[in-house]
Chains A and B, each alone.
Chain A
Amino acid sequence: MKLRVVFANLYVKLLSVYREKTTMFFTLAFPIILILVFGTIFMSQDNVNFHLSVQDLDQTKSSKDAITALEVNGKFKITRVDPAANATQHIRDTKTNLVLVIPKGMEKSLLRRKFFNDYQSSITVTYIYDPSSSSVPTKIDILNGVLAGVNQEMSGIPPFIKAVKKSILSKQYRFIEYFVPGIIAMAVMTLSLFGTVNSNTELRQKGIIRKLSTTPITHTEWVLSDILYQFTIALVSTSLMLLVSYAVFQVNLHINAWLLAFILLNVFAFVGIGMILSRFTKEAQSAAAAANAISFPMMFLSGSFFPIELMPGFLQTIAKMLPLYYVNEGLRAAMVFEDNMDSLRNAAIIGVFAAVVFILGVTATKWEDGQ
């Protein structure tokens, strides 16, 4: 094997992709857009502001204080509804989905309870809501929590069960820290799989493979340059993803040798699958369709976007058979938890898988007889 030949090939591949700027831009931008969009959505969930309409039929100091308290709580952005208005009609007209109605006589009942210890004195607030809206249950849950707190406090008895949160990690990790390694795993998979399938079918259709088979370049040199090329692109893509994650979300992720190891194993595994696919698909279009059929389920089932615990049991079993699952787990073990043993365990699994498909891929793609 001649390294000069490997690097000549790598140079031509990199030069081609560098000159194809639009393709390159979208290829690299896609995972970054995912990080920005999902990161923004999930990051703001901690201090999310729900819109809540409140109709105060009591119009007293107490009722106004209660509304202000809801606002100060930080969870709600309150819109006040005219007491004379029809709350149901208000929902239809203004496209809101929940109106909290404070009944008339609230202050009076409150005073009776507070000063005359009249425990029969109570009020009923009404939630008027649009059941088609998905955020309503969350809002009602929060409101119920607030009401329970008020009731507890008014009872004057300290609660029996108290709860505190304690993370297994020394630092407080956020969703984004789990999400970014998943996106790195997914992006490297997509780049390697589609990169291999597209370049192999295109070069074969254009007859370049046939031409190369009449030159001294060996199959091993060709495959090695392909791996190096995909690894380079994966490194560029990963660096950009990490840069954006640090700059925009100030993520707290560890960059270590495991990261490089998992990227390399991921590249090997999916270049291998790509080679097998391009062996069995003659046209560029069917090759891309086959790559999609493999990468899409993998993307959603292997825990790149959300934890697999959210999925039904049988899907979790399937997830654990997918190579990307182990890349995800491994990258999180390395970058979030700094757990070397877990990283090693996942690396071993994906390593064996990568070795098998890569060898199959290399033997599947022969240059003789027009392949």
Chain B
Amino acid sequence: MPAQANWRFMTTETEYAIKVENLTKRYGNLLAVDDISFTVRKGEVFALLGPNGAGKTTTVEIVETIRTPTSGKVTLLGMDVMKKKHDIVHRIGVLPQGFSSFDRITVKETLQYYARLYSSRNTDIDGLIELVNLEDKAKEQYKNLSGGLQQRLGIAIALVNDPEVVFLDEPTTGLDPRARREVWEVLQGLKKKGKTVFLTTHYMEEAELLADIVAIISKGKIIAMDSPGKLIENNVKHLVLTLQSVDEKAMEVIRKMGFEPVLDDRQEIKTRVVHTDDVQKILSAITDAGVLYHGLDVRKPNLEEVFLKLTGEALHGGLVGERGTK
């Protein structure tokens, strides 16, 4: 992926699917979205990554025409979202946050219903069912589907009008890891089809796996935007050493060596190191101190680390309580 900062300026207006300029949304005294600007190119998978309450849903709902901004301008496929809602809805597909559908209507009937709303007679309902792997559940009523299957139906609904831009607001929140992976497979299929996808998530794995461009949002502001690789490369230069099943004594030893170990909620000690030599030094020191460990892992940093570095806050779980990097 080329450095986004450069080619974004070279992109012509018609290549943008979405252009957000100085967008602000205020609910009473609460500033939910604070003067943000960004663009999404056609055919790109764009992820808005941030913790709950950061302003992701408010932003995406303004772009989707559900909410009205306090100020700023949003252009979608060249149209002002405030003025051209009627034209825009025909060209977008939306999976809203916490998607739900009519309890007693089957998968196939639901898709037929939404297809009728778009007055499209040629929708390939069976093809959509196949795309989201719901062939066995086509005659199942919505209320009998598991959370993951319901989300997959939601994605299929978002595609009934063969939209140019697909919005997926937290598509895997609340799903178990397996169901989440199944949804990701469907989303990767969308990416291959060349759809422009606007994704919001608080799962960094999701953004890292699916997105071409990730915008990190915190407290209503976009604090970084680039490809996942570039974001990591430009912001974090260390490795993370994880030691499993170790006691507090190990923390002491590592701390004395000048590192900042953190004990997470799974009783794992995580320590940031800059060089691979440091890993060897730490392991020797705790072995010499008579501390046993039952497993270790050395990883390159991920988007979570980037988020942590940029905001000083954990995205979710992970390295709680750490402040910045050395």
Residues of A within 8 A of B (CB): 2, 4-5, 8-9, 11-12, 15-16, 19-20, 206-208, 210-217, 367-370
Contacts and interface: CB of A to CB of B under 8 A. Distances in A.
Contact of A208 (B61, B101, B109): B101
Given A8-B113, A15-B109, A210 B141 contact: no
A162 to B, nearest CB: 66
B117 interface: yes
Contacts of B68: 368-369
Interface string B207-233: 000000000000000000000000000
> Closest 7 A-B residue pairs measured CB to CB?
A8-B116, A206-B100, A214-B94, A19-B104, A215-B117, A16-B104, A217-B117
A2 B121 CA distance: 14
Nearest to B62: A369
A368 B104 contact: no
B119 A207 contact: no
A76 B61 CA distance: 75
B114 interface: yes
Given A12-B105, A19-B141, A208 B67 contact: no
A368 B66 contact: yes
B64 A214 contact: yes
B96 interface: yes
B102 interface: yes
Interface in B57-113: 61, 64-68, 86, 89-90, 92, 94, 96-105, 109, 113
A15 B119 contact: no
Given A214-B66, A215-B89, A215-B117, A207 B100 contact: yes
Contacts of B109: 12, 15
25 contacts: A2-B119, A4-B116, A9-B113, A9-B117, A15-B104, A19-B141, A206-B100, A207-B97, A210-B66, A210-B96, A211-B96, A211-B100, A214-B64, A214-B89, A214-B92, A214-B96, A216-B86, A216-B90, A216-B117, A217-B117, A368-B66, A368-B67, A368-B68, A369-B68, A370-B61
Given A208-B100, A210-B96, A370-B66, 17 more contacts: A8-B113, A8-B117, A9-B113, A11-B113, A12-B113, A15-B105, A16-B104, A16-B105, A211-B96, A211-B99, A211-B157, A212-B117, A213-B66, A214-B94, A215-B114, A368-B66, A370-B61
B118 interface: yes
Contact of B117 (A5, A19, A369): A5
B100 A369 contact: no
Main secondary structure of the interface of B (DSSP, over half): loop
Contact of A4 (B61, B97, B119): B119
Most central of A214, A216, A217 by chain B CB within 10 Å = A214
B105 A369 contact: no
Contacts of A16: 102-105
A207 B99 contact: yes
Contact of A370 (B65, B67, B118): B67
Nearest to B95: A211
Interface in B268-289: none
A13 to B, nearest CB: 9
B118 to A, nearest CB: 6
Nearest to A218: B86
A208 B113 CA distance: 13
Contacts of A215: 89, 114, 117-118
Nearest to B121: A4
Contacts of A2: 119
A255 B261 CA distance: 84
Contacts of A368: 66-68
Contacts of B61: 370
Contacts of B116: 4-5, 8
Nearest to A368: B68
A209 to B, nearest CB: 10
Contacts of B90: 216
B89 to A, nearest CB: 5
A14 to B, nearest CB: 11
A206 B99 CA distance: 8
Contacts of B89: 214-216
Nearest to A212: B117
Contacts of A20: 104
Nearest to A11: B113
Interface string B128-149: 0000000000000100000000
Given A214-B66, A214-B92, A369-B67, A5 B102 contact: no
A207 B98 CA distance: 7
A293 to B, nearest CB: 27
A155 B100 CA distance: 85
Contacts of A367: 66
B168 to A, nearest CB: 12
A367 B89 CA distance: 14
Contacts of A217: 117
